[in-house]
Structure 1
Amino acid sequence: MIRAYLEKIGRMAQNFVDSAGLMAIMLMQAAVLLFTPPVKFRNIFKQMEFVGVQSLFVVVLTGAFTGMVLALQSYNALKRFGAESLVGPTVALSMARELGPVLAGLMVTGRAGSAMATELGTMRVTEQIDALVTMAVNPVKYLVVPRVLAGVLMFPLLTVVTDFIGVVGGYIVGVQLLGINPGVYIGRTIDFVQVSDIFTGLYKSLVFGLITTLVACFNGFYTSGGAEGVGRAATASVVTGSVLILVSDYIMSSFMV
């Protein structure tokens, strides 16, 4: 029994190393092919619209209710110390540095990441990717590069939207519901929030965009096993992407404190 467990652990470790290596190779190929003509701007804009514009609704909802909840919870905690005026800075800093990029990343991973993995997985099992190779079309340049570039470009914009909507939601709850003076709320927020706080979240969102799209493309590109394999690829892209976002967020936060 012990031997069976050790073999299972060994296979898992081997699969992890294999996947990490293949993903690194795909990333390097995408980086090189990005600057190799011809550049298909139509494909890039199409993926930007899919990743960015079509994710706006879920991102706006997430940002609004997160900001509202933050205002309520921080007010209840700060009221004990007579520091209700710090609700605004608490909401703004939390959204800008952490919750904005992380929640936007997780939401888009669940929506766009799974769709990318499913689309590429379906193309793999139906041999459409093999057909591209037969026609002398590089599948990484045609399928992966536009999606990865769209993620890197659109995630910061979605993060800005999430931050703004979250701050507005917190303001509405803090001023209209909790009775905080609007001048104090805005003034304290401006005093505490710096431009570097905003850029911290934007830097993170760049990494999250790369992680989400690269993981989704990798899982879809190397799908096997028919329809069941496509389902596994979609699940793996969401789970792996979400975990990597949280892990990378901690690593980056430890260097940006």
Structure 2
Amino acid sequence: MATEEEGPAAQTGRAVLSLATDVGGAAVLAARLARRMVPPRLDGPELWRNLYRMGVRSLPIVGVTALFTGGIMVIQAGVLIRRFGAEGLLGWGAGFTTLREVGPILIALMFSGRVGANNTAELATMTVTEQIDALETLAIDPLSYLILPRVLSMVVMLFVLTVYGDVLALLGAAFMGDALLGVSTATFWNGLLDAIRVWDLATGLIKSALFGGVIALSSSHYGLSVSGGAPGVGRAVNASVVASATGIFVCDYLATYILQ
């Protein structure tokens, strides 16, 4: 912990070392999980349970968010659409923005706040109450039994939720475009299908898989490395959410640059 006597240089150095420790810890965790994937060593029932609670239970909040996001994009675009008479571009603009950027990022941030934070809290609680140590005492590998199913579930379900959210966002945009701007749904979908390429959809889905990995590794790392008892659980959850959000934007920048 930093003291009052430490200067800016010492505090900066401490922050850099802490960042390096966390990034390195997440990388080591990823390597250890990769070793357990060949051949696959994970608990099947635990995988299905996590797929349900992380994915299916996230459908309502993702659906509502996506629908309103599509409507908001149309409202924001309405001024330019009316000014330049570019009704035919509404579908292209909404589709390009949703599929490549807004959909993957927004759904990933929602997923991080709901699923990632919950994962960190559960693992941190198990760590401070020595349940992780108890599993090792019983010759049960915590990474294969607990962590690997959660990581795979987050990657898979964020991918699925992104597809689901993209569809609903475009439906919301088409409906609001017809209701507010008088752009028919036929014009909207024709503009979208004429201009959007398969690669635009693939780019967003690749990003969603990367974001799922970032959230899974970040939340699991902070949950397993917690210290300080019960107060440490809250600090771990906060650090996990911040790290996940930061990682999402960093990965988005790199993926956008590479996949453009």
TM-score range, shorter chain: over 0.9
- 1:78 CA displacement: 2.6
Question: Where does 1:1-257 land on structure 2 (aligned, <5 Å)?
Answer: 4-36=7-39, 38-257=41-260
Q: Which moved more, 1:102-111 or 1:173-182?
A: 173-182
Q: Secondary structure at the match of 1:39?
A: coil
Change (3 A) 1:69 1:61: same
- 1:3 CA displacement: 5.5
Q: Secondary structure at the match of 1:242?
A: helix
**Runs of 4+ residues over 4 Å off in structure 1:** none
d(CA) in 2 for partners of 1:88 and 1:2? 58
- 1:127 CA displacement: 0.4
Q: What is the TM-score of this pair, normalised by structure 1?
A: 0.96
Counterpart AA for 1:201: G
Superposed CA offset, 1:47-92 (max 9, x none): 1112211111111111101100101111212322221221111111
Alpha carbons 2:42, 2:145 under 8 Å: kept: no
Superposed CA offset, 1:138-170 (max 9, x none): 111212101111111111110001100000000
Q: Which moved more, 1:133-142 or 1:210-219?
A: 133-142
Q: What is the TM-score of this pair, normalised by structure 2?
A: 0.95
Q: Secondary structure at the match of 2:36?
A: helix
d(CA) in 1 for partners of 2:66 and 2:163? 10
- 1:182 CA displacement: 2.6
State the identity %: 37
Alpha carbons 2:42, 2:148 under 8 Å: kept: no
d(CA) in 1 for partners of 2:105 and 2:73? 15
Alpha carbons 1:152, 1:206 under 8 Å: kept: yes
Structure 2, unaligned runs of 5 or more = none
Structure 1, unaligned runs of 5 or more = none
Superposed CA offset, 1:119-144 (max 9, x none): 00000000001111111111112121
Provide the alpha-carbon RMSD of the alignment: 1.4
Q: Secondary structure at the match of 1:34?
A: coil
Alpha carbons 1:67, 1:91 under 8 Å: kept: yes
Q: Which moved more, 1:111-120 or 1:30-39?
A: 30-39
Counterpart AA for 1:226: G
d(CA) in 2 for partners of 1:40 and 1:141? 7
